[in-house]
Structure 1
């Protein structure tokens, strides 16, 4: 790949000045190296072994229907041929993180911005910035689902409004605890639909199997007041009963909710409230140990 891909930071985080106002670039699929395709293969095969019985049915179906395989980083042009027909979405390549308003504008117009770079072999287990594996493997299968497709578009539209109102942090928590780290209750048990879990080998196991985190029924005002972890596993996962619940969120007028929660206390990531519907009360042992037992 190019020199920018070789740096440790990408896009906005690297101070990049874009050549296009929407920050899009050509994916340059032909320029991926054999090593980069091999990294994709390692990540793909590892997650493919872990996700059966853990990923939700809609994720599994989306993966089956898309031209995504272990042998090579997907070509966005081929992905878009299928995705556009199914839900009207397309994947656009960006150099890395983009400004919030650019991100929301893409989502509002059914364009999903994906980093075109892939992590280095020594970064398989943790990467600070979302790369092509996180964005494509984690997010794109769910964009084949009409409920998720509509919800993420509505999030983009809502993000543009939230910016103007100065309450973006509240809306960002909704995205974080649904699209990135959401769980859904299926008839055969809890399943993953959030991309941050689905693209992470360690969090795939932690989110469903570990005794440490809380698993709490999703409640919108509660989620909007709950901080999250960006540097480690989540301390609490919020659970919806069905993906169609997200459609109701897409149609809500958030303005009264912003006014309701704006000046109320915020909750710590691992806090359990008396009126929470708790599916699993976590032990907190993992994060306690990370904090040195304090």
Structure 2
């Protein structure tokens, strides 16, 4: 167990800053949890009543003090392998509960100012206690009743292939650790992101469909991979087939990133947040809409060219995003079928990428950020040896490699507008650097 850097006076200061009654912070008592869970399990006035035959064993496991690991209300499950985890609810410290309470209090202020109304309506359904970390036995039951989704606890960030496997079966992977007290943004997902950020999005039908359809797109990708592997014995060819499938999922994951995680939507003529990665961070919630640093670009997800814009845009997870994509409506987002996600990913593999800072020809720009760059700036920075982030560097090198090896420029017509030609001197520089 880590040693806290805070004392009781610090706890009181955090509580006062966030309007929290310090004496109310702490875990739900076990007897109260069991009684509440029993009442919840028997609720029939919900969209997804819990099967009667599942209720008693579920309640008994919680009452016996077993740790929650994965939902069991359907016949489907997911093999999480060595990533499988369970929530040791009694193991949370007071400071961790206080960290949750402070984060939720801060989130509520920014969510009610910047989140879309569907998100706020969804959040009200789950009765997530503001003074205590949610117990997954109770939360899983409530989520299933409202959405048909369930929780699956994991130890850490899991591979994309497993992540989307969970989605195809309506499981959402959740971690069990809470960010340190006083921390706003975290690169890796914690309870503050997985629960306080994502749970409400399950109730937005279009977003829940996009999540599950990404899982189904994953299934299509790996079914095709398995078909291609039949009869193949050459190790190099096997490796190439596996790599192709993994790359396709990477492009599909970008569509997920810029919608489910960091998506915005037009609502009543204004830009509103719905992405869980945004709304789990009070700082990024405000930043995503009010700052003058990042780009905001309007997209119509039912247009194939706009899906390619997402699939061909690289990003970093280490800081607030530099470009946000704003969907015209949730109805448009609901057109992201598994087949369209797969088709966009296949096309994206043959096209050059954009960085997370670029304004691209054909973009419908709502805001040009202070850190915006042109399409070709990354090449000039690379040749000049200037400082650039990892996203710019790998995108520049990847595109130069693609063009140096021979690229059919007719493919660029699939974008809304063809990007400018890569400078000849950049290609010469790249070829020389490879000798």
Which category describes the TM-score, using the shorter chain as reference length? 0.7 to 0.9
Per the alignment, do residues 259 and 94 of structure 1 end up closer, same or farther by CA in structure 2, a change over 3 Å counting? closer
Q: Distance in 2 between matches of 1:151 and 1:259?
A: 18
Per the alignment, do residues 20 and 277 of structure 1 end up closer, same or farther by CA in structure 2, a change over 3 Å counting? closer
Matching residue within 333, 336, 344 for 1:257? 344
Give how far 1:145 is off.
2.1
**Which runs of no fewer than 5 residues in structure 1 stay unpaired?**
4-18, 286-290
Matches within 5 A, 1:133-152: 133-152=192-211
Query: Which position in structure 2 is the counterpart of 1:284?
Result: 371
Matching residue within 30, 34, 37 for 2:90? 30
* 1:53-99 Cα distance to aligned partner (Å, 9 max, x none): 20111110111111212111111222222221222001222112123
Matching residue within 161, 164, 167 for 1:104? 164
Q: Distance in 1 between matches of 2:275 and 2:221?
A: 22
> Is 1:227 the equivalent of 2:314?
yes
Query: Which position in structure 1 is the counterpart of 2:271?
Result: 190
Q: How many residue pairs align between the two structures?
A: 273
Q: Distance in 1 between matches of 2:324 and 2:282?
A: 16
How does the TM-score come out when normalised to structure 1? 0.85
**Which runs of no fewer than 5 residues in structure 2 stay unpaired?**
3-78, 226-244, 300-305, 373-386, 389-435
> Where in structure 1 do 4 or more consecutive aligned residues deviate above 4 Å?
none
Per the alignment, do residues 208 and 255 of structure 1 end up closer, same or farther by CA in structure 2, a change over 3 Å counting? closer
Give how far 1:188 is off.
5.0
**Higher Cα Rg: structure 1 or 2?**
2
Provide the alpha-carbon RMSD of the alignment.
2.5
Q: Distance in 1 between matches of 2:271 and 2:81?
A: 41
- Is 2:80–2:154's contact at 8 Å kept on the other side of the alignment? no
Q: Distance in 1 between matches of 2:82 and 2:336?
A: 27
Q: Taking CA–CA contacts closer than 8 Å with sequence separation of 6 or more, which of the two structures ends up with the larger relative contact order? A: 1
Per the alignment, do residues 254 and 134 of structure 1 end up closer, same or farther by CA in structure 2, a change over 3 Å counting? closer
Give how far 1:20 is off.
5.8
Per the alignment, do residues 33 and 212 of structure 1 end up closer, same or farther by CA in structure 2, a change over 3 Å counting? same
Give how far 1:271 is off.
0.9
SS in 1 for 2:192: helix
- Judge which range, 155-164 or 96-105, deviates more: 155-164
Matches within 5 A, 1:1-294: 21=81, 23-121=83-181, 124-162=183-221, 164=225, 165=245, 166-218=247-299, 219-284=306-371
